Amino acid sequence: MITSKVNIGEVKATNLRIDASYHLSEGQEIKRVISSSPYGLLSIQDVCSNIFIGNRARRVYVTREDKGIRFLSSSDILLADLESVKLASVKYTPNIDQMRLQKGWTLISRSGTIGNCAFSNRNHAEKLSSEHVLRCVPNGKIKEGLVYAYLASKFGHSLLTQGTFGAVIQHIEPEYVASLPIPSFPDDFQILVDTKMQESALLREKAAAELKSAISCFEDGIGHCQYSYKYKTKAVKSSSVSSRFTRFDSQYQIGKIELDKDLSYKSCVKIGDVSKSIYVGNRGKRYYVKEGIPFLSSSDMMLFNPIKYSTPISVNTPNLEGLLVHTDDILISRSGTIGNTVIVSDTLNGKAVSEHALRLVIDPDKMDPKYVFCYLNTAHGKRVLESLAYGSVIITLGEEFVANIDLPLLSKEAKDTISAKIKQYSSLLDEATRLENEAVSLVEAEIEKWNN
């Protein structure tokens, strides 16, 4: 049991909160650490012109790009690829300008899983976000990159998460975030951290542009996907059913027929014919530890800084090798949300990933894995993966179905261009992650110096 004395001033400063879990929490200890700043203290309110949440409104989602705008949930703000999220109707979304994001803001998840931060770049600024995302708009008193790095650090995260309240859905409010202390770091330190964060944000923008360009190049080569599941009916011969894994679900049978039409004039090869292996990671008990090999879920692998949100597992975990992934492996989410695809770069190399991500290991002597990854991220590739899913409660994607996917073969020039763009995409993301981690580490190291 932990006990301590709390003076009445501290109770008054927290709107008369008297629960011991709060006053004896890690967050309160962090506040005492922050208070030892040799540079003096400001509040987040002092360094922001506004701290707010977007307006609450009924959302109508659409499928056409020209009718909608990307809408980010509190978990979507952490994604590496922001173009895969839903489109909210421009016509039917009220007060849409209050939902728009801007470059340079610190975005904080405020409901459910709280305290996760993202530094908004130009790609965020083209989109909307929900009321479950809290926005901190810097006013220049402290560099915007430093504000983010501080709140994203272990110290900032502790402060954010210790302000939670609510019996069922944990959440934080703008007033609480505004009250948090932030050291008045010296100018040279601010510039150092901010420079790294600005460069990191720029590299993420460039990475997104490379991925988009590669996908456009591929789609130009095969034609844009015309197939939609909406209101499709079709008679299918029994011989066709038996020739396609004897599956009777219409999503697969109709989807396969319609999607094949898009590639009917293209030379193709089965993905299984250019693969070394297609498999699911080992299932079994995992031993979680404080320090070990980062373990990622199929959701974690999609994030812009995936290792940050991973949980370490022991090197003694049974059949660990079956969980590890390696450079140029293609990971495909195979249960729950189907078809999210990642290519393993240096950041994820040698890390452990959940069995809910299917591993596609391409033989580089037969096909460049980056080319295959790009196809699976085209509109056509995504439709194919969706059509292959099966199950009534937990939707699943099987290895044998992925092996049977037709991979379109473009010209050598197009293949080389696409592969080069995906290589650059991966490299830029890795460098962006490195710079952001350095910026956050600088803040943590500076604060730790005060208490040694």
What the block records as the tokens of 161 is 């998460």
What is the spatial distance between Cα 124 and Cα 80, in angstroms, rounded to a whole number?
Answer: 11
SS (H, E, C) the chain: CCCCCCCHHHHHHCCCCCCHHHHCCHHHHHHHHHCCCCCCEEEHHHHEEEEEECCCCCCCEECCHHHEEEEECCCHHHECCHHHCCEEECCCCCCHHHHECCCCCEEEECECCCCCEEECCCCHHHCEECCCEEEEEECCCCCHHHHHHHHHCHHHHHHHHCCCECCCCCECCHHHHHHCEEECCCHHHHHHHHHHHHHHHHHHHHHHHHHHHHHHHHHHHHCCCCCCCCCCCCCCCHHHHHHCCCCCCHHHHHHHHHHHHHCCCCCEEEHHHHEEEEEECCCCCCCEEEEEEEEECCCHHHECCHHHHCEEECCCCCCHHHCECCCCCEEEECECCCCCEEECCCCCCCCEECCCEEEEEECCCCCCHHHHHHHHCCHHHHHHHHHHCECCCCCECCHHHHHCCEEECCCHHHHHHHHHHHHHHHHHHHHHHHHHHHHHHHHHHHHHHCCC
Q: What is the CATH number of domain 39-185?
A: 3.90.220.20
Domain 212-425 architecture: Alpha-Beta Complex (3.90)
At residue 231, the pLDDT reads 47
User: What is the pTM assigned to this prediction?
Assistant: 0.89
Give backbone dihedrals phi and psi of 423, rounded to 5 degrees, phi first.
Answer: -60, -45
Whether residue 78 contacts residue 40, with contact meaning beta carbons closer than 8 Å, is answered with: no
* CA proximity to 90, closest of 44, 126, 134, 39: 126
Dist CA 395 CA 404 (whole Å): 19
Domain 39-185 shares a fold with domain 212-425: yes
Residue 262's nearest CA partner among 157, 405, 399, 86 is 405
Predicted local distance difference test score (pLDDT) of residue 94: 86
Q: Both tokens of residue 139?
A: 């006013």
Contacts of range 410-413, beta carbons closer than 8 Å, 24 or more positions apart: 410/218, 410/221, 410/222, 411/221
Radius of gyration (C-alpha) of the chain in whole angstroms: 24
CA distance 46 to 181: 9
Give me 267's structure tokens: 């030379």
Closest CA to 104 of 136, 80, 142, 152: 136
CB 209 within 8 A of CB 421: no
Give me the residue spans of the domains in the chain. 39-185, 212-425
| Tens digits of pLDDT across the chain (452 residues) | 667 677 777 677 666 777 776 666 676 788 888 989 999 999 999 999 999 998 777 888 998 888 999 999 999 999 999 988 999 999 998 888 889 999 999 999 998 788 999 999 999 998 999 899 999 999 999 999 999 999 999 999 999 988 666 554 578 899 999 999 999 999 999 999 999 999 999 999 999 999 999 999 999 998 876 656 554 666 666 666 655 566 666 667 666 666 777 677 789 999 999 999 999 988 878 889 989 999 999 999 999 999 998 999 999 998 899 999 999 999 999 987 888 999 999 999 999 999 999 999 999 999 999 999 999 999 999 989 988 888 777 788 889 999 999 999 999 999 999 999 999 999 999 999 999 999 999 999 999 998 77
pLDDT for 400: 92
- Across 272-283, b (16+ Cβ under 10 Å) vs e yields bebbeebebbbe
Structure tokens at 437: 């981690």
Q: What angle do CA 79, 420, 83 make, to 5 degrees?
A: 25
